[in-house]
């Protein structure tokens, strides 16, 4: 049976060679894996890509190469979103022209009313999300809000709607929800519009996404083959998603107890780590003897995804795995790291709220 | 069996009491019929309405009442389009705040590529259409082009897409074509957006349309019941469509020989009238004896829809009906009237081309 992917669902996607083959995805080359001094590559967080090489070749030749990432402003940001933005900052550091879309229209239109019941609310959330993005180091000129684009952007989204049939949509997504459908055309426009002459013209682009977002990637590539504008097929890089704090879950804003939010108080963050699923053994004795299981430990996962120091993370892994480090010690390291990060980050967020308001409301 | 209406089709719609009842339409009151000194009412060109009374009451109380009409810029304008704009000018004369949308995105997105294959083309046609509208007496401040609206307009179109289900769409239109679907959300936004606070706020609105456009009317009213903004249900007035030049056809840009275009040369217009279907009898003798049939005569129809002098039109009707006027004489009156109109109109169009370009390309 063919595996389908639901970009709005909450299931983990299994990625194996059969999966890669089925969807035409490529693994990163060994060269890539070695050349990038970045935790995404050092810690095996990258899964696969589509046409990353074309994008990277343009960067190496100092040609224009655009990266575009979007955040749907449907709720507060959690550590999982930080992964997206960290990847954004990494690609920017390679020299890419970088744009971060705060997707307020998409958020409102694609979420049920009980989750997000007005554009007004989506914009308030957009202010919050934008302030966090600024605090993480995205420049204000790199951020746009979907509801504040020039008319050409919307025109293009409507143009794209002419080029996709109901059958294509059903084949890719397995359903036809009119709100999600129209939000999708905005997503495709986000990914593709920087190749329009009004936004800089044809060039390779990259979008970093989780593997469950691949249907959008395939749809936007399919559209490039149908429209009359000459464009590069957009490239995509797929990274692992950070799991939730409970065993086997995805970090999701819909289930607050499974996620650490960038707005969480230090006390709340601390408590969440203390309660998080651990890879420790049932007794001290057994732990010392058998060692912990960092692969399933949620505190360790936070370090793996977020701690800047790869050597420290490796050290923790070994110590925990061999039973030298106890779960309480691992949790303490994670709590210290995380509360330090959150405290500094939240101070920056405060300073950036005014700028964020100006971006969202075009004051 | 329930009669369905296809707004994109080319069939005449039969309007009888059963039809009015089925779709919840109302006839104009006798008061309305008598009070308006205008050929639409004097010559029985109005078919029915939805909530015209609420709109007219606001006008009488000198409250804000908005009329909105749209033209899809998919081809050159013909006499049928002039009917829409004449109605627009009539409603404006009653004191309504009036907006004419030149719908370039709608035109491109809802027409197949073989009819309209790029936004560039749709905008070129929009310039032509706009120049004609200006020449007919629409003010430049009353005209907007869909591709040059403020972002709030597009945002609203996307908001509306959240409020319609696939089933509602299928029930109203009988199909689900993604291009037409997205174009429709622009149409609904056109009809409704002047009730948003950013565009003036809640007030009665009127759109004059042909009866085959009623599905759009029902859909936009249905949406008002679902969205969270407080709005009046939009009102609609339905007028008769001028027929084509062949027997029983609708005047359609898709079939150029059935229509007189506002860009037609005087010679071409003259020839079209000469070849148009007539209500004359097969011999002079029979015509004198039985009289002509103005009801099916295409030259007479042009006078009925377009000649400013109701008395003259009535006189022609009687003379032709009683056989005193021959088809050649009727055609001569129509040709003289039409070529005089086209010649003056086309001179005005030329003068307005620059202004039209400025409106379409926001120069």
Structure tokens at A226: 């149908």
Query: Using CA atoms, how far apart are residues B268 and B78, in angstroms rounded to an integer?
Result: 13
Lowest mean pLDDT among A104-108, B174-178, B202-206, B293-297: B174-178
- Residue A120: what are its φ and ψ, rounded to 5°? -55, -45
Q: How many structural domains is chain A composed of?
A: 2
Is A119 in contact with B155 (Cβ distance < 8 A)? yes
Closest of A49, A94, A96 to residue A68, by C-alpha: A96
Average pLDDT, chain B: 92
Closest of B282, B292, B281, B336 to residue B316, by C-alpha: B292
Query: Using CA atoms, how far apart are residues A170 and A177, in angstroms rounded to an integer?
Result: 10
In A, residues 111-140, which contact B (CB 8 Å cutoff)?
113, 117-119
Structure tokens at B230: 């407080």
Percent of chain B with pLDDT strictly greater than 70? 96
What pLDDT is attached to residue B13? 60
Residue A152 forms contact with B (CB below 8 Å):
yes
Residues A46 and A163 in one domain: yes
Of the candidates A113, A151, A185, the beta carbon closest to that of B149 is on A151
Lowest mean pLDDT among A242-246, B5-9, B100-104: B5-9
Identify which has the larger pLDDT, A166 or A334.
A334
What pLDDT is attached to residue B10? 47
Residue B178 forms contact with A (CB below 8 Å):
yes
Average pLDDT, chain A: 92
Of the candidates A113, A118, A161, the beta carbon closest to that of B182 is on A161
Identify which has the larger pLDDT, A173 or A287.
A287
Is A151 in contact with B152 (Cβ distance < 8 A)? no
What pLDDT is attached to residue A105? 97
Return the residue of B nearest to A228 by Cα: B118
Strand partners, B210: B239
Residue B165's H or E segment, with its range, is: none
Average pLDDT over residues B209-229: 93
- In a domain, residue B71? The reply is yes
Residues A100 and A131 in one domain: yes
Is A147 in contact with B152 (Cβ distance < 8 A)? yes
Average pLDDT over residues A230-252: 88
What pLDDT is attached to residue B320? 97
What pLDDT is attached to residue A2? 44
Query: Using CA atoms, how far apart are residues B181 and B226, in angstroms rounded to an integer?
Result: 18
- In a domain, residue B24? The reply is no
Residue B162 forms contact with A (CB below 8 Å):
yes
Distance from CA of B118 to the nearest CA of A (A): 8
Is B182 in contact with A182 (Cβ distance < 8 A)? yes
Percent of chain B with pLDDT strictly greater than 90? 79
Residue A178 forms contact with B (CB below 8 Å):
yes
Q: Which residues from chain A sit within 8 angstroms of residue B164, using beta carbons?
A: 178
Chain centroid offset of residue B304 CA: 16
Is B147 in contact with A169 (Cβ distance < 8 A)? no
What pLDDT is attached to residue A1? 37
Residues A167 and A40 in one domain: yes
Q: How confident is the model at residue B8 (pLDDT cuts 50, 70, 90)?
A: low
Structure tokens at B135: 């020449």
Give per-residue pLDDT as tens, A198-218. Answer: 999 999 999 999 988 898 999
B190, B146 in Cβ contact below 8 A?
Answer: yes
Average pLDDT over residues B2-19: 62
| Complex-level ipTM | 0.90
Residues A74 and A215 in one domain: yes
Residues A263 and A317 in one domain: yes
Average pLDDT over residues A239-263: 83
Is A186 in contact with B148 (Cβ distance < 8 A)? no
Q: Rank A43-47, B10-14, B252-256, B329-333 by mean pLDDT and report only the highest.
A: B329-333
Lowest mean pLDDT among A18-22, A143-147, B188-192: A18-22
CATH of the domain at B288: 1.10.240.10
Long-range contacts of B32-36 (CB under 8 A, 24+ apart): B32/B56, B36/B90
Distance from CA of B165 to the nearest CA of A (A): 6
Is A165 in contact with B148 (Cβ distance < 8 A)? no
Distance from CA of B229 to the nearest CA of A (A): 10
Give the end of a domain, one of A204, A239, A274: A239
- In a domain, residue B7? The reply is no
Residues B191 and B260 in one domain: no
The order of strands in the sheet holding B66-72 is: B46-50, B235-239, B205-210, B66-72, B97-103, B143-145
Lowest mean pLDDT among A21-35, B125-139, B321-335: A21-35
Interface test with A, best of B74, B146, B161, B219 (most A CBs within 10 A): B161
Identify which has the larger pLDDT, A209 or B255.
A209
Of the candidates A109, A161, A183, the beta carbon closest to that of B109 is on A161
Query: Using CA atoms, how far apart are residues B269 and B267, in angstroms rounded to an integer?
Result: 5
Closest of A195, A185, A181 to residue A233, by C-alpha: A195
Query: Using CA atoms, how far apart are residues B170 and B4, in angstroms rounded to an integer?
Result: 11
Rg (CA), chain B: 21
Angle B121-B124-B128 (CA atoms, 0-180°, nearest 5)? Answer: 135
Closest of B47, B42, B101 to residue B73, by C-alpha: B101
Percent of chain A with pLDDT strictly greater than 90? 79
Interface test with B, best of A154, A166, A183, A362 (most B CBs within 10 A): A154
Query: Using CA atoms, how far apart are residues A17 and A249, in angstroms rounded to an integer?
Result: 23
Is B147 in contact with A162 (Cβ distance < 8 A)? no
Residue A321 forms contact with B (CB below 8 Å):
no
What DSSP letter does each residue of B230-241 carry, written as one string? --PPPEEEEEPP
CATH of the domain at A81: 3.40.50.620
Residue A158 forms contact with B (CB below 8 Å):
yes
Query: Using CA atoms, how far apart are residues B36 and A49, in angstroms rounded to an integer?
Result: 68
Query: Using CA atoms, how far apart are residues B55 and B51, in angstroms rounded to an integer?
Result: 7
CB atoms near residue A13 (< 10 Å)? 19
Strands (E), A76-204: 97-103, 143-145
Is A158 in contact with B109 (Cβ distance < 8 A)? yes
B179, A161 in Cβ contact below 8 A?
Answer: yes
- In a domain, residue A249? The reply is no
Identify which has the larger pLDDT, B3 or B58.
B58
Give per-residue pLDDT as tens, A51-81. Answer: 999 999 999 999 999 999 999 999 999 999 9
Q: How confident is the model at residue A5 (pLDDT cuts 50, 70, 90)?
A: low
Residue A259 forms contact with B (CB below 8 Å):
no
Residues A175 and A214 in one domain: yes
Residue B89's H or E segment, with its range, is: helix B79-93
- In a domain, residue B250? The reply is no
Strands (E), chain A: 46-50, 66-72, 97-103, 143-145, 205-210, 235-239
Strand partners, B261: B78
Is B182 in contact with A158 (Cβ distance < 8 A)? yes
Distance from CA of A262 to the nearest CA of B (A): 28
Q: How confident is the model at residue B258 (pLDDT cuts 50, 70, 90)?
A: confident
Residue A167 forms contact with B (CB below 8 Å):
no
Q: Which residues from chain B sit within 8 angstroms of residue A103, using beta carbons?
A: none
Identify which has the larger pLDDT, A198 or B246.
A198
- In a domain, residue B1? The reply is no
Residues A126 and A268 in one domain: no
Query: Which domain range does residue A218 map to?
Result: 29-239
Interface test with B, best of A109, A166, A182 (most B CBs within 10 A): A182
Strands (E), B27-135: 46-50, 66-72, 97-103
Distance from CA of A180 to the nearest CA of B (A): 8
Query: Using CA atoms, how far apart are residues B343 and A52, in angstroms rounded to an integer?
Result: 61
Residues B212 and B279 in one domain: no
Residue B201's H or E segment, with its range, is: none
Closest of A127, A130, A131, A105 to residue A116, by C-alpha: A105
Closest of B236, B233, B235, B211 to residue B222, by C-alpha: B233
DSSP secondary structure code for residue A246 in this structure: S
- Residue B199: what are its φ and ψ, rounded to 5°? -120, 20
Average pLDDT over residues A335-351: 98
Average pLDDT over residues A222-227: 95
Query: Using CA atoms, how far apart are residues B229 and A106, in angstroms rounded to an integer?
Result: 19
Q: How confident is the model at residue B360 (pLDDT cuts 50, 70, 90)?
A: very high
Q: How many CA atoms within 13 Å lie on the side-chain side of A315?
A: 7
- In a domain, residue B221? The reply is yes
Residues B38 and B121 in one domain: yes
Average pLDDT over residues A16-44: 90
Give per-residue pLDDT as tens, A270-305. Answer: 999 999 999 999 999 999 999 999 999 999 999 999
Give per-residue pLDDT as tens, A250-259. Answer: 777 777 788 9
Asked if the model's pLDDT at residue B104 lies above 80, the reply is yes
- In a domain, residue A6? The reply is no
Q: Which residues from chain B sit within 8 angstroms of residue A165, using beta carbons?
A: 178
Residues B208 and B145 in one domain: yes
Return the residue of B nearest to A176 by Cα: B166
Query: Using CA atoms, how far apart are residues B160 and B163, in angstroms rounded to an integer?
Result: 5
B50, B232 in Cβ contact below 8 A?
Answer: no
Q: Which residues from chain B sit within 8 angstroms of residue A178, using beta carbons?
A: 161-162, 164-166, 169, 181
Is A166 in contact with B177 (Cβ distance < 8 A)? yes
What pLDDT is attached to residue A167? 84
Return the residue of B nearest to A164 by Cα: B178
Residues A109 and A145 in one domain: yes
pTM: 0.92
């Amino acid at each position: 049976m063919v595996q389908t992917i639901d970009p709005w669902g909450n299931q983990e996607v299994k990625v194996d060679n059969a999966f890669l083959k089925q969807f035409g995805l490529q693994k990163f080359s060994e060269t890539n894996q070695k050349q990038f001094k970045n935790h995404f590559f050092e810690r095996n967080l990258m899964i696969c890509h589509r046409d990353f090489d074309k994008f990277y070749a343009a960067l190496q030749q100092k040609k224009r190469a655009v990266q575009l990432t979007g955040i749907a402003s449907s709720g507060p940001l959690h550590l999982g979103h930080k992964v997206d933005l960290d990847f954004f900052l990494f690609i920017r550091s390679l020299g890419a022209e970088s744009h971060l879309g705060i997707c307020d229209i998409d958020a409102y239109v694609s979420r049920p009313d009980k989750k997000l019941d007005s554009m007004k609310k989506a914009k308030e959330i957009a202010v919050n999300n934008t302030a966090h993005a600024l605090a993480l180091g995205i420049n204000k000129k790199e951020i746009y809000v979907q509801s504040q684009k020039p008319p050409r952007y919307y025109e293009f989204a409507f143009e794209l709607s002419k080029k996709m049939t109901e059958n294509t949509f059903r084949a890719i997504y397995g359903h036809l929800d009119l709100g999600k459908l129209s939000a999708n055309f905005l997503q495709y426009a986000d990914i593709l519009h920087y190749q329009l002459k009004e936004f800089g013209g044809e060039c390779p682009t990259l979008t970093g996404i989780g593997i469950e977002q691949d249907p959008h990637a395939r749809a936007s590539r399919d559209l490039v083959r149908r429209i009359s504008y000459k464009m590069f097929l957009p490239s995509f890089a797929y990274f692992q998603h950070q799991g939730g704090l409970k065993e086997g879950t995805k970090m999701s804003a819909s289930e607050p107890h499974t996620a650490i939010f960038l707005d969480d108080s230090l006390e709340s963050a601390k408590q969440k780590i203390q309660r998080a699923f651990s890879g420790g053994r049932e007794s001290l004795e057994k732990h010392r003897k058998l060692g912990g299981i960092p692969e399933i430990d949620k505190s360790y996962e936070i370090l793996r995804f977020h701690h800047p120091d790869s050597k420290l993370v490796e050290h923790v892994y070994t110590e925990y795995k061999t039973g030298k480090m106890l779960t309480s010690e691992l949790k303490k390291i994670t709590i210290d790291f995380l509360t330090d990060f959150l405290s500094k980050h939240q101070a920056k967020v405060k300073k950036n709220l005014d700028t964020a308001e100006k971006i969202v409301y075009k004051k």
